[in-house]
Homo-oligomer: A and B are copies of this chain.
Amino acid sequence: MTSSFYPPQRTLMGPGPSDVSPRVLGALSRPTIGHLDPQFIQLMDEIKGMLQYAFQTENELTLPVSAPGSAGMEACFVNLVSPGDKAIICANGVFGGRMKENVERCGGTAVMVDDAWGTAVSVDKVAAAFAEHPDAKLLAFVHAETSTGAVSDAAALCALAQQHNALTIVDCVTSLGGIPVEVDAWGADAVYSGTQKCLSCVPGLSPVTFSPRAVEAIRNRSHKVQSWFLDMQLVMGYWGGDSKRAYHHTAPVNALYALHESLVMLREEGLEAAFARHREHHNALVAGLEAMGLSMAVPADQRLPQLNAVNIPEGVDDTAVRAALLNDYDLEIGAGLGALAGKTWRIGLMGHACNRRNVLRCLDALESVLTAQGAAITAGVAAEAAAAA
């Protein structure tokens, strides 16, 4: 008969989930209460307020979707895309392709703007796409591409969309809490994220926020949203501002305890301090990797501090290295995805996992494993370079 499961104690330095702090795990396991309990309603209000802080927005419609980031993405598309709508979709990694899937499953048409994986979205190309397709109703792009580690200029892209009277959907799954996400300053209309990246909460929830302009578009839809579960007009009835909450679905109560605690921790540290911490340890990691002789996959000015794509040296066995890190060092780093499979590793420094101890642990372990594999790297200098960075 199957017995209880005791997971190993990993250090999670992949593309997410990231290490969850003991405070958040402690909150997760507090006693479950009902999803309509007055005390739970208060918790929901506090989560909403702290998500507004994290997203830097005053958007009333700000809440965590009760499912992972992929469902948050889908929530944005199904509520804002109607059959026949044209949407400009930027693809510079895996998640742009997934956005295209979403538009098409909503009966819309996707105009693709492709950029090389591992680089930012080209603002010029998007401008050209708007010039060619002035009837586009929507622009969607990924702020922080989890599959490549590249950041795009969200402010410039949102400004372009506004010039063309188009709504924006912005993927901030990996950016929220790690680099500035300025929803109101950008003028973004629908933004989704995940809890398992720089918020260092458990995976399973997707914070989203919708601008008043997006809410108006949702209210003016001529037919129902194709998803009942993700229909924001219904979800609003449960998460809405008035004290009488209409039952929509059973909220994931304990996961919301955890999200609440992770947001309390983010507020305690402060956004600016969190961003500075991510930059600091990113710089140390890059210095150590480069001292070892490894090279980064993304140009310096387009790099995400929280997700570091490293080129796999020629002749090195990708799978064997990651297996050795996991099995011998309990250290998880990420594989390349899609076009970058076998070509890069993705080293996460996200939220609670973004600290000096993890930078040094990762450099040490990687150095040992690569040396054992006979890779041409410079040993014994990484930690010192990281400390000096």
Chain A residues with a Cβ under 8 A of chain B: 1-10, 12, 14, 16-17, 19-20, 23, 25-35, 37-40, 43, 46, 49-50, 66-71, 74, 98, 101-102, 104-106, 194, 196, 202-204, 224-229, 247-255, 257-258, 260-261, 263-264, 267-268, 326, 332, 337
Contacts and interface: CB of A to CB of B under 8 A. Distances in A.
A129 to B, nearest CB: 23
A208 to B, nearest CB: 14
A226 B252 CA distance: 24
A65 to B, nearest CB: 9
A166 B324 CA distance: 51
B66 A204 contact: yes
Given A5-B261, A204-B255, A227-B227, 6 more contacts: A5-B260, A6-B30, A17-B250, A38-B326, A68-B251, A254-B255
B203 A252 contact: yes
Given A2-B46, A37-B10, A67 B229 contact: yes
Contacts of A204: 66, 204, 250-255
A276 to B, nearest CB: 20
Tell me how many chains of this kind the complex includes.
2
A255 B255 contact: yes
Given A67-B71, A74-B228, A247-B337, A28 B254 contact: yes
B5 A33 contact: no
Contacts of A17: 32, 34-35, 250, 253
Nearest to A203: B250
A37 B14 CA distance: 11
A228 B67 contact: no
Contact of A16 (B2, B19, B102, B250): B250
Contacts of A14: 34
A247 B247 CA distance: 32
A85 to B, nearest CB: 15
Contacts of A12: 32-34
A318 B154 CA distance: 51
A190 to B, nearest CB: 16
B254 A69 contact: no
Nearest to A28: B29
Nearest to A252: B204
Contacts of A66: 67-68, 71, 204
A75 to B, nearest CB: 9
A43 B25 CA distance: 19
Given A49-B2, A66-B67, A228-B105, A10 B31 contact: yes
Contacts of A68: 66-67, 249-252
